[in-house]
Structure 1
Amino acid sequence: MTEPATRTRSVVVEREIAWPPEKIWRALTQPHLMEEWLMKNDFSPAVGHQFQLRGDWGGILDCEVLAVEPNRTLSYTWNHAHDDPAFNLESVVTFTLTPTPAGTHLRVEQAGFRPDQRQAFGGAMAGWPLFLDKLEEAVAGAD
């Protein structure tokens, strides 16, 4: 049996962070802190809020908040339009925070990569660990 061509893949990165969920939540939801670890943005943690992430590389991602459960779950679309339809990306990023004795278990999933999006998938596989390194730095420096 063959799998349908529309099947998508996900990138999942998990990390233990030595800070409580409340502190990580601030870095995930406050625009000035998001800029430190992710990209420039006009984010607001409200379901339905449409915002943009603006990369230093000149790219713009159009996003919409899908779910907000303070200190637990944050989910939003992560869409990039491109002149070449093969490079259009329509995905969903979900952050899940689980308290642990040592701090927080953070799980990040970016879902929706089509089979023909090997470059975007590879970029996300390489990029999310780097973003999370910067997130940890932003959390450590935040009051």
Structure 2
Amino acid sequence: MGTTSQRILEGMELRSYKQADLVEKTGISKGALSSYIAGRYVPKQNNIYLIAKALDVNEAWLMGADVPMERQDSTALSNKFYCNTEKEKSLIQSYRKLNSSNQDKGLSYIENLLTTQRMEDEVFLNAAHDLGATPEQKQHADDIMQDDSEWE
């Protein structure tokens, strides 16, 4: 059984991470991470989670427990609960590889795409419906649509 500091180092070596990589992926300060690795302090639960997630290891293993190092199969979990298609699976896997800042940017980009899509759908739906037009207004619109001189 190893200490948390030994397990962090083992996980970093396994993933070929430097301290700077772990700082970027977790958002934990350089000083705090150095203290954890040196064994001066043991990370609190929230930082254990961030480090374990970044290293893709089991939190209990990281804390020194005699359990398998491997994190629960996130791919199977994703397929079971979140992913209906290969595109969704690929999106989630890519998202998980991003650091926190880029995850935020990715979510913001997706939200912007959804807003744009909603606006496009609304414009299309409004154009495709008569929105309460009278028979005379419908006939007038049809006349314009069929009059080639209106389109020159």
Instruction: Give TM-score scaled by structure 1 length.
Output: 0.28
Work out which structure has the larger RCO, using CA pairs closer than 8 Å and 6 or more positions apart in sequence.
1
Which one has the largest radius of gyration? 2
Higher strand share: 1
